[in-house]
Amino acid sequence: MCTPNIDSPLDPKAAHTIEHIGAILLRNGIYKDHIIYFGPMGCMTGFYLITKDLEFELIIQIVKEIFEQIAHWNREISGAKEEECGN
């Protein structure tokens, strides 16, 4: 998402929003049994996606599709309420 030490890092609020939407899409998607983790890097320059038993080319396709869906998200953000997340 950002080049470390060159680009400005992501705003933590934006990264957290992307994390919530992306995690919901991945955990409920067709590859849900292969998703272990999706979340922001501590440096706020990108995200980790940890999977199991998926080919690298498929992971690239999944990431592109997920970020396309995130970019066009127009629904409530799941887990955004204080009692659901606390952040």
Counting as low any pLDDT under 50, the low residues of the chain are none
Give the DSSP H/E element, type plus range, for residue 32: none
The pLDDT value given to residue 25: 96
Task: State which amino acid sits at residue 18.
Answer: I
For the chain, the domain total comes to 1
Domain containing residue 52: 12-71
CB-based contact 10:44 (threshold 8 Å):
yes
Neighbours of 18 (CB within 10 A): 22
CATH code, domain carrying 58: 3.30.1360.80
The pLDDT value given to residue 78: 82
- Distance CA(36)–CA(52), nearest Å, equals 7
